[in-house]
Amino acid sequence: MLGIDLEKADDGFSSDLHLIAGNISRALSQLVLRTDVSGMPLEWIDYKEAARLYHQEQVAYTCGSPLFKLYGGVSARTGFRTVLEVNSIVATVGHTGNPGNTRHDYVPPLNNQTLFRRDAHFCLYCAQRFPVRELSRDHIRPFSQGGRDVWTNVVAACRRCNNLKASRTPEQAKMQLIAVPFTPTYAEYIFLKGRRVLADQMEYLRAHFPRHSPLHARIKRYLS
């Protein structure tokens, strides 16, 4: 767990940060999973936003493990310094703002970062793994043949495979997909959006995935 002095953190925090070792800045960037009061995952927040929610008494309960210990000012009433422990998962009261909660037909926005994560950075044609910069968004049924820019019609593809396939369907190009593209649910989307998702956050999100989610197997492999 990381201890942070909130009084220092509020003023000139970023300039102080450069003087501190890199692993502390990495620890500070660890995001907290925010859920609504019923436990539905909502979003990723940083430690400052988490501290604000605690301060405004919007945190109903916490799950996961303690991440940060935040030190505030000295209370005039008690004479003690306030200490706040922030957990990896916080459930909050009030307006949820979770579109996945209210709309069953919710479709998360499509972008390359989450698309490549959905496909675990594999090219879904040659089944090899690539860094982000070498991947591209392939339209399974190309635009020229009426294909649309939707989750179920796009896959991660390496540049070589994308060029090879060109403006053809996989059948026309005699290429085979190694997995079926799917539209992530809200919980799956939150998982895919996460940078450095902690094991307890992973387990928590996984409990909200549909039973058939291909991400179950991936998380299981990761945690084993």
Taking the complex as a whole, the smallest distance from the CB of residue 175 to Zn ion amounts, in Å, to 9
Which is nearer to Zn ion, 83 or 132 (by Cβ)? Answer: 132
Binding track, positions 153-172, relative to Zn ion; x by CB under 5 A: -----x--x-----------
Q: Indicate whether 179 belongs to the interface with Zn ion (CB under 5 A).
A: no
Q: Which of residues 28-67 bind Zn ion (CB under 5 A)?
A: none
Bridge pairing between strands 81-92 and 59-74: antiparallel
Q: How many CA atoms lie within 13 A of 21 on its CB side?
A: 4
Using the rule CB under 5 A, give the single segment among 94-102, 105-113, 117-125, 197-205 that binds Zn ion.
117-125
Options 2, 84, 107, 126; binder of Zn ion; rule CB under 5 A: 126
Query: Would you count residue 125 as binding Zn ion (CB under 5 A)?
Result: yes
Residue 101 or 153 with smaller CB distance to Zn ion: 153
Least distance from C-beta 127 to Zn ion, angstroms?
8
Nearest to 152 by CA among 164, 163, 140, 162: 140
Q: Which stretch binds Zn ion (CB under 5 A): 15-23, 62-70, 122-130, 185-193?
A: 122-130
CB nearer Zn ion, residue 130 or residue 151: 130
* Backbone phi and psi for residue 144, each to the nearest 5 degrees, phi listed first: -65, -15
| 169 neighbors 196 (Cβ within 8 angstroms) | no
Q: Which is nearer to Zn ion, 157 or 197 (CB)?
A: 157
**CA torsion sign, 197 to 203 to 208 to 209?**
positive
- When the beta carbons of 126 and 173 are compared against Zn ion, the nearer one is 126
By CB under 5 A, the count of residues binding Zn ion is 5
123 forms part of the interface with Zn ion (CB under 5 A): yes
Query: What is the nearest approach in angstroms of Zn ion to the Cβ of residue 92?
Result: 42
Q: Which residues bind Zn ion (CB under 5 A)?
A: 123, 125-126, 158, 161
